[in-house]
Structure 1
Amino acid sequence: MYRLGIDVGGTNTDAIILNDRLQVIASVKAHTTQNIESGIFNALTKVLQLAHISPSEITQAMLGTTQCTNAIVERKHLAKVGVLRVGYPATASVPPYTAWPEDMVEALGGYTAIVDGGFETDGRVLNEIDKKQIVNILSDWKGKVESVAITGVFSSVNDEQEEVVGKLAKQMLGEDVPVSLSSKIGSLGLIERENATILNASLAKVIQNTVDGFKKALENEGVVNARLYLCQNDGTLMSSEFARRYPILTIGSGPTNSIRGAAYLAEIRNAIVVDVGGTTTDLGVLQNGFPRESSLAIEVGGITTNFRMPDVISIGLGGGSIVTVNDDGSVSVGPKSVGYKIVEEAITFGGDTLTATDVAVRLGMSTVGNPERVAKKVDLGVAEKAMEEIKRMVEDAVDKMKTNANDASIVLVGGGSIIVPEKLAGVSKAVKDQLGSVANAIGASIAQISGQIEQIYVYSEQNREESLNDAQRQAADLAKEAGADANTLELVEVEEIPIAYNADGSTKVRVKIVGDLS
């Protein structure tokens, strides 16, 4: 009984295999390819050769990927989306796609409609829906849209109208057209919740190709007995079936995989994780073994949303970052990088481009490649100035993630972590592990399944205990739907935020439950 963890990054695809005691028995790094299937296949082939096990013995396979994030940023492979807002006339003054980049709207087709409907903050009907009106719009969209996003006013309090419209969409457009409901995806804030729902709908084709490519790569290598999981952006897993419905939850899973993997390797539950890749360095915070979530609205590809995301910052520093000597004699590092071409272009690997990795080799921090070639071609003074700049960049980034003035513990992971010096201002302890370069794949493979619900309850109508029990039940149902074992469910987070200016006791309740894989 073995687990396979794969993380597809912009530069490398990492793969690891764990035994039934969650010990790493094999790990590899392979170059990411344009075709996700071939990249996964290459990494999988190598890691199986190292593990010396039969592919049929793998019973669980986990994938962390940036495919959905890249599709939004690059505006590629996105579905044509029909955006249906249930909120006329209350929301007519701010139409869907307000403040969106024009190229993104064009990529999604620009199909929008605002129909009668909506609820008050306490769940009372604001306006009734008109089924005939909705059917006419859906009839016009038939054959034009590939996915539908439905958003209702205060559907986070009452989702009845969204459910009715969703069923109509399935009836009119067919079961093959995915339907995304905002009450299942976003939080408070109509526009941000609608934006997240549109993005979820737009990723229908991307997630289908990703899951199908993952499945095919596994089958081609003989991994036919494994259940497939994808990584969520809160550091937990979801079944491939669940991921097909909520692809937006994979965004941000790369950094969270590294954070979870770092916690596992360092056996630490509270620290700042510094994940140094080939192009960027991502920093996140471990709180009780899980990534700290951002409390701010998240912008993805220029679009503001409000679904849950890890509190992560990225800086343009990595092992492949290009080092430049400026006219005034100063030295800058990044943000441009040679990326996956580092094995061809970096000086230590026979190229002519001075990179951060060459600096580390020149200063004796690493012996990768050809140190003698670096010693001949890289000036020591330039290397020292470059390292001072690298040190400053990391120190500034760590400082931004701290919540107090005390020195922090950090965990260094990622293939580019060799460029970070051991002593940093504001850091009390820096932990490294020999498997840190594949921490993201480890994080993908050791994660649990989660279910999270965020909903408004009116305590004057339903008492607090009943409300919290209802939220926990819904979160548990989501966890089981995502693939969790019902017997292992554990409540890990409860948050109550009173809604300002409401005298009826309206409170936003957020509950998170985790469990082991079923």
Structure 2
Amino acid sequence: MKYRIGIDVGGTNTDAVILDENLTPVVKTKTPTTLDVSSGIYKALLEVLKMSSVPREDIKYAMLGTTHCTNAIVERKRLNKVGIIRIGYPATTAIKPMTGWPEELKEAIGNFSYIVKGGFEFNGNEISTLDKKYLRKIASEIKGKVNSIEITSVFSPVSNQHEIKAAEIFKEEMPDVPVSLSSEIGSIGFLERENANILNASLVDVAKTTVKGFIKALKNENIDCQVYIGQNDGTLMSVDYAMKYPIFTIACGPTNSLRGASYLAKQKNALVVDVGGTTTDIGVLVNGFPRESSTAVEIGGVRTNFRMPDLVSIGLGGGTVIRKSGNKVSIGPDSVGYKLTEKAMCFGGDTLTASDIATLLGVAKIGHDKKINGVHLNMAEEVYKRMIIMAESAIDRIKTNANDMKVVLVGGGSVLLPDKLSGALEVIRPDYFDVANAIGAAIAQISGQVEKIFMLDKIGREEAIKEAKNMAIEQAIKAGADPESIEIVDIDDVPLAYIPGNATRIRVKAAGNLLK
């Protein structure tokens, strides 16, 4: 029997499960997320191993969905010093790299930015010859000052030749320094793509430390298995891939919950309401995968355009703080988070939370209702009604039409919500709903995705789609998928009316099973 471990880190709890080879849950656990994240992961790992009688040698896979990279950006800590190389002089000099970034984040990454001759027009014509001599001069200047390089060329989704050539030069001059290419990270939208690539380059060391720490924790328990990291499209990537593209781990938690919800509830197309201790995240399942956001996404105060799940998040969770001031009562948005079992009244604390309200009204059994003092039932009922309205309003916001949809409730905090919600055709609360995120990480496939602009006047639509499919399959194989199992799961092509040459943006996603 081959088993797999799935671990997912949330803002409040770190969840862990062990599944058998039929992907049936064997054991589950929830432990409070720790400030350093890693010790909480290790604790959750130890707990599921202790709870099960699974032999260590039968555990063949371990999957981790983590917030390490998100936390590093938000806290401005543990980030790489990045050499920022923009290719496109003189066409791209109007706005400097990192314009509009929070000052403390710019300081954490360092101010090593350069604009170099080169790049391409929207139709694939070269703006100017790549200045290789200047690139080598830059390398000599920043050697020893930076420990990561990012390269962004204008219109690299059309042609990334100059990015690749520049990367070759830096690998010759600075062989031990990792290089990130914007064409592999973001899509059309020069500044947003550059921003995403700079953030990716700044997270390389965080990813390495996280991955190596997880592998070490497994080895300490005599587990020798294949390790995968969750990414934000609901699939997995190999450890090498994760260390090259750490930015793809951002928002992997909600996507793991969506994938877990799809698997547990046996629903391919539905809304998923994931209620944690701090927030409620609502996403849309399309053919079993999270719907992607079509708008630019802000991360840590930086506007980016790399792929992210389309989510509506509200400040409602099990630890949400309820305050009364005179006749007014406020709900959140702050939360006691992972300190729920210390701070909440139902656990003997002194802070009134959403969990206390649900426990007092008999909606859920969290802690002890007798410990909740000084809260009138009328007030509790009024607060609970408002909590439901908050969730229902969020459901309406993410829908693209007025029709009711099936709603799958997951997350430990989903016990706060009732079995009937306005806007829901049906409310499904599957078994193991409280650890859907960890299950989503454990059952996930490996994917590869490509988004590129093709000039259909040159190669034709069929040939362009075929090329994009092959590129996506190649990405999936690089990420660790079994070549024999890979399927194309999503194709999207959008004509770009403002660009001549019958330009079309084609996005293809391929997914396959873990390499055995």
In the alignment, what sits opposite 1:345? Answer: 343
Q: Does 1:402 align with 2:403?
A: no
Report the AA paired with residue 184 of structure 2. K
Contact 1:36 1:213 in 2 (8 A): no
Counterpart CA distance in 1 for 2:454 and 2:420 is 49
Deviations 1:303-335 (A, max 9, x none): 1111110001111111011111232x2322111
Deviation at 1:369, TM superposition (A): 1.4
Report what 1:85 is aligned to.
86
| Match of residue 445 from structure 2 | 448
User: Distance between the aligned counterparts of 2:379 and 2:387, measured in 1?
Assistant: 12
Q: Is the deviation greater in 341-350 or in 425-434?
A: 425-434
Counterpart of 2:370 in structure 1 is: 372
Give distance in 2, aligned partners of 1:284 and 1:500: 30
User: How far did 1:35 drift?
Assistant: 3.1
The one-letter amino acid paired with 2:482 is D
SS in 1 for 2:79: coil
The aligned residue for residue 212 of structure 1 is 212
**1:301-380 counterparts in 2 under 5 A?**
301-327=300-326, 329-374=327-372, 377-380=374-377
Q: Secondary structure at the match of 2:294?
A: coil
> AA paired with 1:471?
A
Q: CA separation in 2, counterparts of 1:237 and 1:167? A: 28
Q: Unmatched 5+ residue regions in structure 1?
A: none
Q: 1:198 maps to which residue?
A: 198
Preserved CA contact (<8 Å) 1:41 1:221:
no
* 1:269 alignment partner, SS class: coil
Provide runs of 4+ in structure 1 moved above 3 Å. none
Paired residue secondary structure (2:458): coil
CA distance in 2, matches of 1:287, 1:182: 27
Aligned-partner Cα distance in 1 for 2:445–2:498: 38
Letter in 2 for 1:295: S
1:460 and 2:457 are equivalent in the alignment: yes
User: Are residues 1:480 and 2:477 paired?
Assistant: yes
On the 8 A contact 1:331/1:389 being kept in 2, the answer is: no
CA contact 2:34–2:338 (8 Å) conserved in 1: no
Residue deviations 1:39-63 (CA, integer Å, cap 9, x gap): 2221111101222111221111100
Distance 2:499 2:113 in 1: 32
Match of 2:152 in 1: 151
Cα distance between partner residues in 2 of 1:462 and 1:367: 62
2 CA distance for matches of 1:299 and 1:352? 35
- Code of the residue aligned with 1:508 in structure 2: it is R
1:78 aligns to what SS in structure 2? coil
Of 95-104 and 486-495, deviating more is: 95-104
Q: Give the conservation status (yes or no) of the 8 Å contact 1:273–1:411.
A: yes
- The one-letter code matched in structure 2 to 1:425 is S
Q: Secondary structure at the match of 1:49?
A: helix
- In structure 2, the partner of 1:423 is 420
TM-score (norm 2): 0.98
Cα distance in 2 for partners of 1:159, 1:426 equals 45
Give the secondary structure class of the aligned counterpart of 2:187.
coil
Q: What is the TM-score normalised by the length of structure 1?
A: 0.97
Aligned AA (1:369)? G
Mean Cα displacement is larger for which, 144-153 or 339-348? 339-348
Per-residue CA distance 1:426-479 (angstroms, 9 max, x = gap)? 222111124111110000011111111111111111122211111111110000
Give identity over the alignment, percent. Answer: 53
Is the contact made by 2:487 and 2:510 (CA closer than 8 Å) also made in structure 1? yes
- Residue 37 of structure 1 contacts residue 216 of structure 1 at CA under 8 Å; is this kept in 2? no
Q: Is the 8 A contact 1:82 1:145 kept in 2?
A: yes
Q: Distance in 2 between matches of 1:504 and 1:67?
A: 43
Separation in 2, partners of 1:190, 1:373: 56
- Cα offset for 1:409? 1.7
CA offset at residue 218 of structure 1?
A: 0.9
Structure 1 equivalent of residue 270 of structure 2: 271
**Cα shift at 1:504:** 1.1
The aligned residue for residue 233 of structure 2 is 234
User: Secondary structure of 1:119's partner?
Assistant: coil
Per-residue CA distance 1:152-179 (angstroms, 9 max, x = gap):
11111111111111011111122x2110
SS in structure 2 of the partner of residue 331 of structure 1: strand
- The one-letter amino acid paired with 2:222 is G
CA shift, 1:122, in A, is 2.1
Check if 1:243 corresponds to 2:233.
no
Report the equivalent of 1:74.
75
Question: What's the offset of the Cα at 1:501?
Answer: 2.3
1:322 touches 1:355 (CA, 8 Å); kept in 2? yes
- CA distance in 1: counterparts of 2:252 and 2:276, whole angstroms: 15
Shift of the alpha carbon at 1:408?
A: 2.3
Matched residue type, 1:17: I
Aligned partners of 1:235 and 1:253 also within 8 Å: yes
Deviation at 1:377?
4.3
CA distance in 2, matches of 1:129, 1:185: 21
Contact 1:204 1:244 in 2 (8 A): yes
Contact 2:123 2:500 (C-alpha < 8 Å) held by counterparts = no
Q: Secondary structure at the match of 2:170?
A: helix
SS in 2 for 1:29: strand
Q: Distance in 1 between matches of 2:250 and 2:500?
A: 37
1:178 and 2:175 aligned: no
Give secondary structure in 2 for the equivalent of 1:416: helix
The AA in structure 2 aligned to 1:99 is: G
CA distance in 2, matches of 1:155, 1:173: 23
Equivalent residue number for residue 123 of structure 2 = 122
For structure 2, list consecutive stretches of 5 or more residues without a partner in the other structure.
Answer: none
Read off the aligned partner of 1:193 and give its amino acid letter: R
Tell me the amino acid that sits aligned with residue 12 of structure 2: T
Inter-partner Cα distance in structure 1 for 2:94 and 2:274:
44
Q: Residues of 2 paired with 1:422 and 1:280: CA distance?
A: 19
CA distance in 1, matches of 2:503, 2:343: 59
Mapped to 1, the partners of 2:297 and 2:461 lie a distance apart of 30
Amino acid at match of 1:255: P
Alignment partners' CA distance in 1, 2:329 and 2:422:
20
Q: Count the aligned residue pairs.
A: 514
